[in-house]
């Protein structure tokens, strides 16, 4: 008697399906690792940029403290408004603090005449980050010919 042995297709199909699932899991895990690494690099860039900005702000605040003390001293030693105005005419009105090679913090001050020693001696006109150079973005689309 000639019996034919029939091997079911289920064994091969389940093996192929298992290989496909494993390949999918491996590829998704690699993609998530690459994405996490890119997020980490971006986070470090943002962190360094924020630290540089706040260091520039700290320098500006220190300068504001020094200017305030200097203006208070000038006001206390001035006899009248005209001598006060003559004394403060030599003070800078715009200060620059570097953030990076491409940016700096610009602080512009105004020096109004105070009515008493308890009034403010300066006003902050602007406190802004300015770009030193024009940023050129790569807008080319690389297409395979």
Tell me the pLDDT tens digit for each residue of 106-116: 999 999 988 88
Instruction: Say what percent of the chain tops pLDDT 70.
Output: 92
Question: For residue 107, what pLDDT is reported?
Answer: 97
Quick check: 15 pLDDT over 70?
yes
Q: What is the DSSP letter of 92?
A: -
| Measured distance CA(132)–CA(112) in Å, rounded | 30
Quick check: 1 pLDDT over 60?
no
Question: For residue 10, what pLDDT is reported?
Answer: 63
| Measured distance CA(123)–CA(107) in Å, rounded | 11
Residue boundaries of the structural domains of the chain: 14-131
Tell me the whole-structure pTM to 2 decimals.
0.73
Compute φ and ψ for 143, nearest 5 degrees: -115, 135
């Amino acid at each position: 008697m000639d019996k034919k042995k029939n091997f079911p297709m289920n064994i091969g199909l389940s093996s192929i399906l298992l290989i496909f699932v494993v390949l999918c899991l491996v590829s998704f895990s690699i993609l998530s690792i690459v994405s996490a690494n890119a997020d980490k690099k971006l986070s470090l860039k943002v962190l360094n940029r924020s630290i540089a900005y706040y260091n520039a702000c700290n320098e500006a605040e220190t300068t504001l403290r020094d200017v305030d003390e200097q203006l208070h001293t000038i006001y206390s030693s001035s006899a009248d408004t005209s001598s006060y105005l003559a004394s403060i005419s030599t003070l800078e009105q715009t200060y620059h603090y570097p953030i990076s090679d491409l940016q700096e913090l610009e602080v512009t001050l105004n020096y109004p005449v105070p009515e008493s020693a308890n009034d403010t001696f300066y006003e902050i006109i602007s406190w802004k980050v300015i770009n030193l150079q024009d940023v050129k973005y790569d807008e080319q689309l690389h297409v395979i010919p």
